[in-house]
Copies of this chain bind each other. A is one copy, B any other.
Amino acid sequence: MDTTKKTIILFSGEFDKVMAALIIGNGAAAMGDEVTIFCTFWGLNILRKTEKVETKDKKTTLKSMFGRKMPKGTKKLGLSKMNFAGAGSPMMRRATKDAGGMSLEELFDSAREQGVKFVACTLSMDILGFTKEELIDDVEFEGVAAYLGHADEANVNLFI
């Protein structure tokens, strides 16, 4: 089994797009590939701890606003389509379970267990006001130059 590299920029934070990214990431890891999922903008939300984290420095109103308005972790994500005012996402969870598929949380855990590397985009963190302690463990912190370094070594690079 050849090991090749894959990168995914996870820009989107919707349930269905995160699910697509994690299915591809898990599939590639299962085939022995090195996978990097570079979480930027709304994709950063999946890396947020669900509990409240006290940060050392007081955040500006603007920074705390983005943080308050956006979901923490994978559990509260809405669908990009057919969201039905929030009902679409539980419906898709139920349909996935009925189909014998893995839940979003299982996909995320599985990806991490299989060694998929989750990276938090540091520029997006600065803009949205997320600190390192607000994100889950085992996340790496990189900028666009590091992403491009991974992408140059990979044979499949997706933007989701």
Given A27-B144, A91-B65, A155-B152, check contact A20 B40 (CB 8 Å).
Answer: yes
A158 CB to closest chain B CB (Å) equals 4
**Please, how many residues of chain A have a CB less than 8 angstroms from a CB on the other chain?**
55
**Partner-contacting stretch, out of A50-58, A92-100, A110-118:** A92-100
Q: How far is the CA of A27 from the CA of B18 in the complex (A)?
A: 25
Q: Is the CB of A82 within 8 A of B60?
A: no
Q: How far is the CA of A63 from the CA of B92 in the complex (A)?
A: 10
Given A20-B41, A145-B31, A152-B156, check contact A123 B98 (CB 8 Å).
Answer: no
Q: Is the CB of B60 within 8 A of A98?
A: yes
Given A62-B91, A91-B65, A99-B127, check contact A13 B81 (CB 8 Å).
Answer: yes
Q: Is the CB of B31 within 8 A of A95?
A: no
Residues of B within 8 A of A96 (CB): 127
Q: Is the CB of A27 within 8 A of B81?
A: no
Residues of B within 8 A of A62 (CB): 91, 94-95, 98
Q: Is the CB of A148 within 8 A of B98?
A: no
Q: How far is the CA of A78 from the CA of B17 in the complex (A)?
A: 19
